[in-house]
Amino acid sequence: MHITQLNRECLLHLFSFLDKNSRKSLAKTCHKLLEVFQDPLLWSLLNFHSPVELKKDNFCLGPALKYLSICWYSERVKVCNIEDWMKNSFQKDFCNRHENTVSDFLLEVCNRCPNLLSLTLSGCGHVTDDCILLLLQNCPNLKTLKLENCVRITDQTLEAVTLYGGSLQTLHVDFCRNITQTGLEKLREKCPSVMLRAERSANMIPDNKPEKKLMPEKASRKLVQL
């Protein structure tokens, strides 16, 4: 029996065991297998391991997507986590190449995947509060949000959870250095049912430009002189 003689249900089951690249390669062999590749039922779960993968055409986004994970553990992620004002020209150029990649992808998710239940972002140093806000607004069924080492995430994301995360049950903001203890306490007060974890976040040093640090020092000197 040739593979194309199998019914749709069997083909979907076979495709489910393949990674994204293998699915795409198999879909190129004939029209019937391409239709299986494009079936929304095949794409309820998506895992990505680098921003580059988000630009490939080896997957489909649609209402069937429920579980999404973008986890970048490469050594290069350290460059994205450096404060913008501390980056040299080489580091800025590197970041500029993919600065909006994850955010643009998440905007597509907002528009095309309203039934998303779980989102995990790790090492996505360019994702902003505004992006998470839009996602919470457009994916009202989101139950799990895990953010790890996302340096641009601040207390504004916690506030957005209190406003638009009505379905949220689990929130992780681990190693997000611009999250504060005050923000965490407010979230716990307003959303006591949310299982909150913030490993190291409130204990890390937040981003501050030198001029912002100097202002309190100047003020204290004036007080001493008075």
pLDDT in tens, 155-194: 999 999 999 999 999 999 999 999 999 999 999 999 999 9
Contacts of 189 (CB under 8 A, 6+ apart): none
Q: Where are the alpha helices (DSSP H) in 69-209?
A: 77-80, 89-96, 101-112, 129-138, 155-164, 181-190
- pLDDT of residue 220 exceeding 50, the answer is no
Nearest to 98 by CA among 58, 39, 135, 48: 48
Of 64-73, 189-198, 202-211, least confident by mean pLDDT is 202-211
